[in-house]
Amino acid sequence: DAGVIQSPRHEVTEMGQEVTLRCKPISGHDYLFWYRQTMMRGLELLIYFNNNVPIDDSGMPEDRFSAKMPNASFSTLKIQPSEPRDSAVYFCASSPPGLSDTQYFGPGTRLTVL
């Protein structure tokens, strides 16, 4: 298996622009998580899905952030409009059925907002 796939690996954009991050979970996994990692705040859970349904989005920082999972093999995290403080590494992770606490992480997307 190719593992969790994220794209793009790096994104540089200007403040105010829309940013879309993409994730393909491991086939057969039914949990999908979005995390943000910064030096100051460490690793933060933003939102997670189970069977394509959002379960907990309490970690989403504000309304500028939105996430979707239209099917079992694809999810997006969108920031609109982006701000410099959104600069971070964004990770997607997935878990197999019955093992939601054993998570497989993607390589991450390094986002820089100028």
Partner 1 sequence: AQSVAQPEDQVNVAEGNPLTVKCTYSVSGNPYLFWYVQYPNRGLQFLLKYITGDNLVKGSYGFEAEFNKSQTSFHLKKPSALVSDSALYFCAVSPGGGADGLTFGKGTHLIIQP
Interface residues toward partner 1, by CB under 8 A: 4, 31, 33, 42-43, 45, 48, 50, 55-56, 91, 93, 95, 100-108
Give me the least distance between CB of 55 and partner 1, in Å please.
7
CB of 6 to partner 1, least distance (A): 8
Q: Which is nearer to partner 1, 10 or 14 (CB)?
A: 10
Work out whether strand 109-113 and strand 88-95 pair parallel, antiparallel, or are unpaired: antiparallel
Q: Which is nearer to partner 1, 45 or 81 (CB)?
A: 45
Short-list 1, 5, 2, CA closest to 93? 5
Tell me the C-alpha distance between 27 and 103, whole Å.
13
Q: How many alpha carbons fall within 13 Å on the CB side of residue 103?
A: 18
**Is 96 within 8 Å of 102 (Cβ atoms)?**
yes
Q: Find the shortest distance in angstroms from Cβ 45 to partner 1.
A: 7
Q: Identify the DSSP state of 63.
A: T
- Measured CA to CA, the distance from residue 19 to residue 82 in angstroms comes to 7
Q: 43 or 114: whose CB is closer to partner 1?
A: 43
Q: Smallest distance from the beta carbon of 80 to partner 1, in angstroms? A: 25
